[in-house]
Each structure stands twice: as C-alpha cells, then as structure tokens.
Amino acid sequence: MRIVTMMLRVLYIEDNALVREITRDLLADDAREVVAVATGEEGLSAFQQSHFDIVVTDVSLPAMSGIDLVRHVKEISPSVPIIVASGYPLNLEDYRLGSKIRAIVKPFDAPEMNALIQDLCTSPAAASSELAAR
C-alpha cells in the first residue's frame, strides 16, 4: 500500500527581500511548498492563478496593503486561512476580515509559526474542505 501525503501550498507575501528569503526557508519543509512574492499585487495574481492552502502576508506592503490583500483573497475564497504578520500587535477584529485569520508579531520563530499554521490548517473546517477536495 502506498501512502500519499498532501503538500501544503503556502503563499507568502513580504516586500523585504532578506526577510522574504529567511521566512520562505523557515516556512518550507517536507510537507510544504512555499511560493514567495514581494507585493500584494503579485500575491493576488498568484492566488488567482493557482491553489494555495494558506496565505501568509506582511501587513505593511507597498501599494496594496496586506489588509487589502486579505480582503481580496477572502472575496475569492472565504474559507482560506490567512496569517497576517506585523511588527506590532494587530487586533484583526477591528478590520472585520472574516474567519480563519490570525495575526503574528515579527520577529517570530519557527515553532510559533508552525503552531499557527497547524492550528489553522487542521481545524474541523479545514479537514472537511480537504476531504471535499479529494
């Protein structure tokens, strides 16, 4: 019997090239494929052209902000989990962005980010979405 594991596809948006490279490496592992882009516009285009299981975005991006990107992504796919990274604590409830959105304060470490991804992607809603996609 062959066991097939599903790769978790992560879209990561960060305008700082060094932070983008370091965090892409932090996010990538044997069970994750990470696509990293520099702007909200590039992130939205990538999301429209391909399937992603989770989106991780910086809040402060040039032109289209991370919050604006979240709104566009949620219009396309309301159930996709999103993590918004910021250099300061965010109260995402103030933005009324929908469900399955969490904030993380930068700098963060791998265990903190991994726990957040695990929590968002293994909730009952995520599990039923995964089963429906099979």
pLDDT at 30: 81
> Which positions ≥6 away from 3 have C-beta within 8 Å?
none
* Domain total of the chain: 1
- Cβ neighbors of 104 (< 8 A, separation 6 or more) are 83, 84, 85, 86, 112, 113, 116
pLDDT at 29: 84
55: CATH: 3.40.50.2300
Full domain range(s) for residue 105: 8-127
How far is the C-alpha of 35 from the C-alpha of 31, rounded, in Å? 14
For residue 122, what are its two tokens? Answer: 């293994």
Residue 53 lies in a domain: yes
Express each pLDDT in 19-35 by its tens digit.
999 999 999 988 899 99
Nearest partner of 40 among 55, 26, 57, 25, judged by Cα:
57
Residue 1 in any domain: the answer is no
Within a domain: residue 3?
no
For residue 16, the SS3 value is coil
Q: Could you say which residues of the chain have pLDDT below 50?
A: 125-134
